[in-house]
């Protein structure tokens, strides 16, 4: 809510009407001769367009035959993986790629073989030969090129490049280690960044926000090029796509961002409008837009410069891209193209196309984009039938050669996970340690020491207690939020690529004042408010990191994680391994766990994140740990879900001797910390439950003479069990507690593993103390819901070692556990 | 004023000792110089004498307990003095070794009441109810039969504290008795035949007959036996040993021996010099010429000694001991003879400095079985030493004494075992031959 924007009641209450900019539909009508006269193309260019379209058609035909007949040209192969094919969409793909440089990035969908090949072929065409040679030789140390060469019948470097592209893509689709992503991406995730081909996405619309993040990266880091998000028309039903478009259309880019940062994002939403979403027909059945391009009208006053173009004429598509790219380069983005096209194949080879008539398919085949384009070339005298036939014959032969290589078990082996059992495991995290993802000088508004918050923190007490053990006042104490701030501002001054955004990040200093002071320190483009679009907040962060930046997206309440479920669970954790470790993902997602705000604002969802392989999960609850772990998270190259508790943003450091150091330090992610030593029972906590566990430890000691050892997990993934096992071997007893609702929580995972590894040392099964399996009630009723200090004593008495004369406050008997489970509560 | 008797530290490397026998018990009167208890390290046995006069007020351990050095073992003082303050700090292994006395039980009970931790155990353990893994582990270690233990855990589960209580209440058992109980399931009698009613292995056998129990006895081996077993086994496992045999004309040393006897008898010589001393003297001379033999083999390196530190195998009641005579090459034959005698006697009395028993203390060892008439044997190397010489009995052998005339000449047998990793056969043989030459040409002065 910047003060510079006046919310004027007079203006807002004026009568009037909204008019929409007209959205052109299929306005292109140039003949080939006209294009040649305007010197937009040479004869060779046009023939190459024909060639590229044919390569895609034959590539997809090959995959279709493998899927449906178990072979191609009589050479048998079984490909059990997916094949979402795009026969019929070749002109759209080749037209899309034609105007793009290697600096221009494309993102795709589950049906993107055509787009990948088109962009790859275009990059091969425009890259200088020596550069192309270098790219091929350096990729996987030349392993992919070596195999492709075996089927290369001679010719130029560019001809070899075509072999390389076709082989790399096929090997990837067939899950071979020589594939573009070591076979870990597969059909729906094949990509090749040196050619500007960024990930496609098996989740419909997945690229709708990720591509926007890539554009944000280009803009903030002053990188050349535009970003194209290739989405199907079906993706327009997806919330994250709407959110991505909202994010891309934010007014602040043109109204609030300053200097060279002023202006729209260089992103082009390219709708591959093939009329079908699975078996659902978008136009007339599952959508109401009539024209896909219409949706653009809702996003900004320019209607994203939207246009519908004829995707069955490659030159119409090229014309559209030429004009939209120019707009983006003038910082007038975002833009949207609705490319009318049609797929002959079903959703997948198992789709019997029961939802359409053979007549409909035939009508499109009659105007087939390749056939008609060939006829027009002959008609315009650009090529003869013999020339076109020669192109077809040559490309068929190249594809067949590459096919034979890609299915060869010796030349193109799969990752051997029987022999190298941990090979994939080692790819889940990059575990990098990088000060800065950028060589640039960070854009800041003043030297750090002049920052008002930095100056204020210098006067604060960095340990919670004075030398007599008396606590300092909250106002004087350096709190957890201050620890986070110090780590984050430090990184903003070290790493020019670092940006942070979320729902209210700038003017308030974040909803919980962690960022107070950053507003003064940073220009808009490094710290800004996002729309209330969690999917876009995380999705754009993923795109931003994929391209090489570091980013801190914020999810204001843990409860909102569901709004970005796909981004947090499917995208963020997967891309490092799915890319064959080509991509890094330095994204630190700050997630605040609420309190006092009831059922939809007070939930601890750490367990949901620990369940997903590929995410690091931390939950520090002291200022020392918060600063050290934030430093470690920001120094790393992996996605970290960084949980914070709203109960304790102001808490002082009570454990680390000497208080929170002023200097930079890191706490390794994965190491639990013994907060209080003891000998009779171990208490392991996640999150702010630590402080209630310490109160319980006091009760144990004072009332029952039981000495409790209290360990703070600090990190959940990774997690080093050694300290916990040593403690359990000593005490023989453990209570594992956290604020997550108990059923299915990570607490149970810890308990199961501790049971397995310390079984012979246990005097009782580990006791899990989570929240009740209810909605979180209002603050006044919270004590019945979250684990309380007395619950620990109850658990000890009921499940570990009965205490004489003790009367428990909760019913923790086995019978009650059975009853609750029966009831599902 | 009560005096505390601690477990002495015998040598640098000794961390704990086993108390083998109490010579004085609680309540006994003690004078200065009285032997209080006997104990042994892994290498030697010792006796602790009293430095104080009075009554044994308290004894904190049982026979057979392994006691960390410098830990309080017993208290001597005037009758009626309190010794409780000296009790070693109640850690579990020590606590289980504490003697059971009525008064102690009472104090324990009070302490438990204060903590309010113990719930009155269920009168009888429900059959089939659980035992925690930790409790089961402790029960197994301490040979507690869980059948009679009542569980105080949730649902009557037997937990660690129940087993601990059972240990407190049940008869003390020697380690052997525990082993028998574990193997056979035998239950200890309420009162055993051992000290303070401790159940011994034999008591267990009485209760439950096992096969062969009537005509055999399981007996724990001494600490030293364990050490010897380990060292000898390790030696044969970890090196490449072989033995060469050769004999030397013994006429020269037999003559020297005769001279010595005469001198001793006439009072000219105070110290007796045995044949073994003479052989050792000859060995030292040979070793000076073969530095590779006077060495420790360390796997990837060798330690060559500038001096000869001669180890001597000594047979004692407790078992084989090998004390070292340091810097033996500096000694005259008389000095060598008296040093060898000194260490052998110390070994037999158990007063040897344990540091001298370390296999690292000697650079080479001599083992003499000649006294027993052994004609040939293969001694085992005391690793990391490179070789050991076995000395055999003297036997007459036919020998060409010139002019085709054969006579029976006394020969002393020499068996050299060497580590082929350290030495090759040629060098070993040359060394052995050199010993023979030294023996045949030995010169001594006294």
B101 falls in which pLDDT band (50, 70, 90)?
very low
Neighbours of A52 (CB within 10 A): 31
- For A460-550, list the strands marked E by DSSP: 499-502, 527-529
Chain A residues with CB under 8 Å of B134 CB are 732, 760-763
Nearest Cα residue to B365 out of B418, B434, B412, B301: B418
Structure-token pair, residue A732: 């023989």
pLDDT at residue number B142: 86
The pLDDT value recorded for residue A427 is 96
CA dihedral for A692, A693, A694, A696, sign (positive or negative): positive
* Eight-class DSSP state of B220: P
- Pairwise CA distance, residues B297 & A553, whole Å: 64
The lowest-confidence range among A630-634, B60-64, B240-244 is: B60-64
Q: How high is the pLDDT of residue B44?
A: 73
The per-residue pLDDT for range A72-88, each reduced to its tens digit, is 999 999 999 889 999 99
Q: Which of B116, B137, B159 sits opposite A764 (nearest CB)?
A: B159
**What does the alpha-carbon distance between residue A429 and residue A142 come to, in Å, rounded to a whole number?**
24
Say which residue the tokens 């684990």 belong to: A787
Beta-carbon neighbour count of residue B34 at 10 Å? 16
Residues of chain A with C-beta less than 8 angstroms from the C-beta of B160? 732, 763
pLDDT at B111: 41
In this prediction, residue B377 carries a pLDDT of 92
Sheet with strand A307-310: strands edge to edge: A105-107, A227-232, A267-273, A335-340, A307-310
pLDDT at B177: 80
Q: Does B113 have pLDDT greater than 50? A: no
Q: Which residues of chain B neighbour A679 with C-beta distances below 8 Å?
A: none
- In A, what residues contact B, Cβ < 8 A? 704-706, 732, 759-764, 798-805, 814
pLDDT of B91:
38
Collect all residues with Cβ–Cβ distance below 8 Å to A335 and sequence separation of at least 6. Answer: A267, A268, A269, A304, A305, A306, A324, A327, A328
Contact call for residues A596 and A602 (beta carbons, < 8 A): yes
Are B62 and B26 a contacting pair, CB within 8 Å? no
- Residues paired with residue A457 on neighbouring β-strands, in sequence order: none
Is B133 within 8 Å of A804 when comparing Cβ atoms?
no
SS3 of residue B264 by DSSP:
helix
Indicate the pLDDT class of residue B300, thresholds 50, 70 and 90. Answer: confident
* Each residue's pLDDT tens digit, A209-268: 999 999 999 999 999 999 999 999 999 999 999 999 999 999 999 999 999 999 999 999
Q: What's the pLDDT score for residue B446?
A: 77
pLDDT tens digits, B263-273: 888 888 888 89
Q: Which of B132, B135, B149, B155 would best serve as a mutation to test chain A binding (most A beta carbons within 10 A)?
A: B132
Q: What is the mean pLDDT of residues A685-708?
A: 98
Q: Which one of A525, A601, A656, A779 is the catalytic residue?
A: A601
Check if the beta carbon of residue A210 is closer than 8 Å to that of residue A199.
Answer: yes
Q: Average of pLDDT values for A731-758? A: 97
Q: What is the mean pLDDT of residues A525-534?
A: 97
Cα–Cα distance between A533 and A192 in angstroms, integer? Answer: 29
In the numeric block, the tokens 């996640």 are attached to A686
CA-to-CA dists, residue A456 to A69, A163, A450, A453, A489, angstroms = 73, 62, 10, 5, 14
**pLDDT given at position B63:** 86
Length of chain A: 825
> At what angle are helices A480-494 and A623-635 packed, to 10 degrees?
20
Q: Is the dihedral of CA B16, B17, B23, B25 positive or negative?
A: positive
Residue A432's nearest CA partner among A642, A632, A626 is: A632
pLDDT of residue A569: 97
Three-point CA angle B179, B181, B182, nearest 5°: 65
> In chain B, what is the straight-line distance between the N-terminal and C-terminal CA atoms, in Å?
55
Q: How confident is the model at residue B317 (pLDDT cuts 50, 70, 90)?
A: confident
pLDDT at residue B4, rounded to an integer: 87
How much is the average pLDDT of B311-335? Answer: 89
Contact B159 A760 (CB under 8 A): no
Residue B197 reports pLDDT greater than 90: no
Tell me the average pLDDT of chain B.
82
Tens digits of residue pLDDT in A443-478: 999 999 999 999 999 999 999 999 999 999 999 999
Contact yes or no for B160 and A732 at CB 8 A: yes
Residue B201 has what pLDDT? Answer: 75
Q: What mean pLDDT comes out for the span B197-212?
A: 64
Distance in Å, alpha carbon of B160 to nearest chain A alpha carbon: 6
Rounded to whole angstroms, the Cα distance separating A120 from A360 reads: 32
Nearest Cβ partner of B134 from A763, A802, A803? A763
Residues of A with CB below 8 A from B114's CB?
705
pLDDT of B19 strictly over 80: yes
For B134, residues 6+ apart whose C-beta sits below 8 A from its C-beta are A732, A760, A761, A762, A763, B159, B160
Separation CA A719–CA A717 (nearest Å) = 5
Chain A residues whose beta carbon lies within 8 Å of the beta carbon of residue B159: 763-764, 800-801
- pLDDT top residue among A533 and B261: A533
DSSP state of A508: S
pLDDT digits (tens, 9 = 90+) for A503-523: 999 988 888 999 999 999 999
Residue B122 pLDDT: 38
Mean pLDDT is lowest, of A182-191, A353-362, B63-72, B425-434, for B63-72
**pLDDT score of A42 more than 60:** yes
Catalytic annotation on A601? Answer: yes
B97: pLDDT confidence band, cut at 50, 70 and 90? Answer: very low
Are the beta carbons of A680 and A510 closer than 8 angstroms?
Answer: no
| Cα dihedral: A780, A782, A783, A786 (round 10) | -170
Model pLDDT, residue B215: 61
- What 3-state class would DSSP assign to A632? helix
Share of chain B above pLDDT 70, in %: 86
Q: What is the mean pLDDT of residues B146-167?
A: 90
Query: pLDDT-derived band of residue B205, with 50, 70 and 90 as boundaries?
Result: low
Q: Which residue of A has its CA nearest to B158?
A: A763
Mark yes or no for CB contact B133/A759 under 8 Å: yes
Please report the DSSP string for B121-167 in residue order.
PPSSPPTT--B-HHHHHHHHHTT--GGGPPP-SGGG-B-HHHHHHHH
Q: What is the pairing mode between strands B54-59 and B29-30?
A: antiparallel
Nearest to A501 by CA among A583, A543, A556: A556
Task: Look at residue B318 and tell me whether its pLDDT is greater than 90.
Answer: no
**What sign results for the dihedral spanned by CA atoms B5, B7, B12, B15?**
negative
CA dist A30 and A11 (Å) reads 45
Which distant-in-sequence residues (6+ apart) come within 8 Å of A130 by Cβ? none
Find chain A residues with C-beta within 8 A of B161's C-beta: 801
When the pLDDT of each residue in chain A is averaged and rounded to a whole number, the result is: 96
Of B116, B136, B161, the CB nearest to A801: B161
Residue among A761, A763, A803 minimizing CB distance to B159: A763
pLDDT band at B43 (very low <50, low <70, confident <90, very high): low
Tell me whether residues A802 and B154 touch, CB distance under 8 A: yes
* Residue A22 CB neighbour total at 10 angstroms: 10
Contact A705 B116 (CB under 8 A): yes
Span B166-194, mean pLDDT? 77
Mean pLDDT check: name the lowest of A30-34, A618-622, A629-633, B58-62.
B58-62
CB-nearest partner of A764 from B115, B132, B137: B132
> Please, which pLDDT band fits residue B402 given cuts at 50, 70 and 90?
confident
Q: Quick one: pLDDT at residue A780?
A: 95
Substitution target in A732, A757, A760 with the highest count of B β-carbons within 10 Å is: A732
Q: What's the pLDDT score for residue B13?
A: 67
Look at residue A511 in the predicted model and tell me its pLDDT: 86
Q: Tens digit of pLDDT for each residue in A645-669?
A: 999 999 999 999 999 999 999 999 9
Cα radius of gyration rounded to whole Å, chain B: 29
Q: Which of B117, B119, B132 sits opposite A705 (nearest CB)?
A: B117
d(CA A307, CA A323): 11
Cα–Cα distance measured from residue B322 to residue B327, given in angstroms and rounded to the nearest whole number: 16
Query: What pLDDT shows up at residue A549?
Result: 98
B154 interaction partners in chain A (CB closer than 8 Å): 764, 798-802
């Amino acid at each position: 809510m910047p003060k510079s924007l006046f919310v004027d009641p007079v203006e807002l209450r004026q009568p009037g009407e909204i008019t929409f900019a007209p959205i052109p539909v299929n306005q292109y009508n140039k003949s080939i001769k006209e294009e040649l006269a305007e010197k937009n193309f040479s004869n060779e260019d046009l023939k190459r367009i024909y060639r590229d379209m044919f390569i895609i058609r034959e590539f997809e035909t090959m995959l279709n035959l493998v899927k449906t007949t178990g072979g191609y040209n009589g050479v048998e192969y079984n490909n059990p993986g997916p094949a979402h094919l795009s026969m019929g969409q070749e002109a759209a793909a080749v037209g899309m790629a034609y105007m793009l440089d290697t600096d221009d990035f494309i993102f795709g969908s589950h049906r993107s073989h055509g787009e990948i090949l088109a962009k790859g072929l275009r990059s091969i065409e425009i890259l200088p030969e020596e550069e192309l040679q270098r790219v091929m030789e350096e990729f996987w140390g030349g392993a992919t090129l070596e195999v492709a060469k075996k089927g290369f019948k001679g010719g130029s470097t560019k001809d070899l490049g075509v072999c390389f592209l076709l082989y790399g893509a096929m090997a990837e689709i067939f899950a071979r280690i020589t594939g573009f992503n070591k076979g870990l991406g597969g059909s729906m995730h094949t990509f090749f960044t040196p050619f500007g081909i960024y990930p496609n996405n098996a989740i419909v619309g997945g690229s709708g926000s990720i591509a926007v993040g890539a554009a944000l990266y280009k803009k903030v880091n002053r990188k050349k090029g535009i970003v194209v998000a290739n989405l199907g028309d079906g993706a327009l039903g997806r919330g994250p796509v709407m959110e991505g478009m909202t994010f891309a259309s934010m007014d602040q880019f043109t109204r609030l961002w300053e200097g060279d940062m002023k202006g729209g994002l260089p992103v082009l939403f390219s709708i591959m409008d093939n009329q079908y979403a699975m078996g659902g027909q978008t136009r007339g059945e599952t959508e109401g837009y009539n024209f896909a391009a219409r949706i653009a009208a809702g996003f900004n006053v320019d209607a994203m410069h939207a246009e519908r173009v004829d995707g069955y004429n490659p030159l119409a598509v090229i014309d559209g891209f030429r004009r939209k790219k120019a707009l983006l380069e003038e910082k007038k983005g975002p833009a949207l193209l609705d490319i009318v096209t049609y797929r002959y194949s079903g959703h997948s080879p198992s789709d019997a196309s029961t939802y359409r008539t053979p007549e409909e398919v035939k009508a499109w085949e009659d105007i087939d984009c390749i056939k008609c384009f060939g006829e027009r070339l002959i008609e315009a005298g650009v090529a003869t039938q013999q020339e076109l036939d020669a192109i077809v014959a040559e490309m068929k032969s190249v594809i067949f050669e590459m096919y034979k290589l890609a299915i060869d078990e010796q030349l193109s082996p799969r990752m051997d996970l029987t022999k190298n059992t941990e090979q994939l495991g080692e790819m889940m995290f990059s575990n990098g340690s990088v000060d800065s993802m950028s060589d640039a000088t960070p854009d800041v508004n003043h030297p750090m020491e002049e920052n008002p918050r930095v100056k204020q923190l210098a006067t604060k007490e960095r340990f919670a207690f004075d030398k007599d053990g008396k606590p300092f006042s909250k106002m004087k104490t350096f709190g957890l939020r201050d620890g986070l701030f110090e780590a984050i501002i430090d990184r903003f001054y070290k790493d020019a690529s670092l940006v942070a955004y979320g729902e209210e990040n700038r003017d308030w200093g974040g909803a919980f004042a962690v960022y107070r002071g950053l507003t003064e320190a940073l220009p808009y483009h490094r710290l800004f408010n996002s729309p209330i679009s969690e999917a876009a907040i995380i999705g754009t962060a993923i795109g931003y990191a994929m391209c090489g930046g570091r980013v801190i997206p914020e999810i204001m309440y843990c409860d909102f994680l569901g709004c970005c479920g796909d981004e947090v669970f499917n995208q963020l954790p997967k891309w490092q391994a799915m890319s064959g470790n080509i991509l890094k993902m330095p994204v630190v997602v700050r997630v605040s766990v609420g309190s006092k705000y009831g059922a939809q604002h007070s939930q601890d969802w750490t367990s949901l994140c620990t369940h997903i392989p590929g995410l690091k999960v931390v939950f520090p609850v002291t200022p020392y740990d918060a600063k050290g772990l934030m430093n470690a998270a920001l120094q790393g190259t992996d996605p970290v879900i960084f949980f914070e508790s709203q109960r304790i943003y102001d808490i002082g450091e009570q454990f680390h001797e000497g208080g929170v150091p002023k200097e930079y330090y890191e706490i390794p992610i994965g190491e639990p910390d013994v907060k209080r030593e003891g000998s009779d029972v171990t208490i392991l906590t996640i999150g702010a439950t630590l402080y209630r566990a310490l109160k319980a430890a006091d009760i144990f000691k004072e009332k029952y003479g039981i000495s409790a050892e209290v360990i703070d997990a600090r990190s959940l993934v990774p997690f080093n069990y050694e300290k916990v096992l040593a403690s359990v071997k000593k005490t023989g007893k453990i209570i594992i507690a956290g604020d997550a609702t108990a059923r299915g929580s990570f607490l149970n995972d810890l308990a199961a593993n501790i049971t397995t590894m310390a079984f012979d040392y246990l005097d009782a099964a580990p006791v899990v103390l989570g929240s009740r399996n209810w909605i979180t009630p209002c603050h006044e009723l919270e004590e019945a819901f979250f684990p309380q200090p007395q619950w620990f004593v109850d658990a000890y008495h009921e499940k570990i070692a009965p205490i004489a004369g003790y009367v428990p406050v909760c019913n923790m008997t086995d019978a009650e556990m059975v009853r609750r489970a029966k009831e599902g509560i | 004023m009560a005096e505390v008797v601690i477990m002495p530290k015998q040598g640098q490397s000794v961390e704990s000792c086993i108390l083998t026998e109490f010579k004085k018990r609680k309540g006994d009167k003690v004078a200065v110089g009285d032997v209080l208890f006997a104990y042994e390290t892994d290498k030697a046995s010792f006796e602790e004498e009293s430095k104080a006069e009075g009554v044994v007020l308290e004894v904190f351990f049982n026979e057979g307990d392994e006691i960390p050095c410098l830990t309080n073992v017993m208290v001597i003082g005037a009758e009626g003095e309190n010794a409780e303050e000296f009790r070693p700090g109640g850690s579990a292994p020590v606590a289980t070794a504490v003697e059971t006395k009525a008064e102690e039980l009472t104090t324990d009970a009070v302490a438990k009441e204060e903590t309010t931790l113990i719930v009155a155990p269920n009168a009888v353990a429900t059959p089939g109810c659980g035992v925690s893994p930790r409790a089961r582990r402790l029960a197994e270690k301490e040979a507690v039969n869980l059948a009679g233990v009542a569980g105080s855990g949730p649902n009557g589960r037997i937990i660690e504290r129940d087993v601990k209580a059972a240990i407190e209440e049940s008869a003390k058992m020697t380690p052997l008795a525990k082993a028998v109980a574990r193997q056979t399931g035998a239950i200890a009698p309420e009162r055993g035949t051992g000290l303070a009613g401790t159940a011994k292995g034999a008591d267990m056998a009485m209760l439950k007959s096992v096969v062969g129990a009537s005509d055999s006895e399981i007996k724990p081996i001494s600490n030293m036996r364990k050490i010897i077993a380990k060292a000898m086994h390790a030696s044969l496992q970890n090196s490449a040993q072989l033995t060469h045999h050769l004999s030397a004309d013994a006429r020269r040393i037999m003559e020297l021996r005769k001279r010595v006897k005469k001198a001793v008898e006439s009072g000219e010589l105070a110290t007796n010099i045995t044949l073994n001393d003479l052989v050792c003297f000859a060995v030292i001379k040979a070793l000076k010429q073969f530095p590779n033999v006077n060495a420790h083999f360390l796997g990837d390196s060798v330690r060559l000694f500038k001096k000869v530190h001669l180890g001597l195998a000594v047979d004692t009641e407790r078992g084989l001991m090998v004390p070292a005579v340091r810097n033996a090459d500096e000694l005259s034959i008389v000095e060598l003879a008296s040093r060898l005698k000194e260490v052998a006697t110390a070994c037999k009395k158990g007063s040897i400095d344990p540091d001298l028993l370390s296999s690292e203390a000697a650079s080479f060892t001599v083992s003499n079985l000649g006294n027993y008439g052994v004609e040939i044997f293969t001694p085992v190397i005391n690793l990391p030493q490179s070789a050991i010489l076995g000395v055999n009995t003297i036997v007459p052998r036919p020998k060409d004494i010139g002019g085709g005339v054969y006579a029976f000449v006394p020969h002393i047998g020499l068996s050299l075992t060497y580590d082929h990793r350290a030495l090759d056969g040629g060098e070993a043989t040359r060394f052995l031959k050199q010993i023979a030459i030294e023996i045949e040409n030995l010169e001594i002065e006294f």
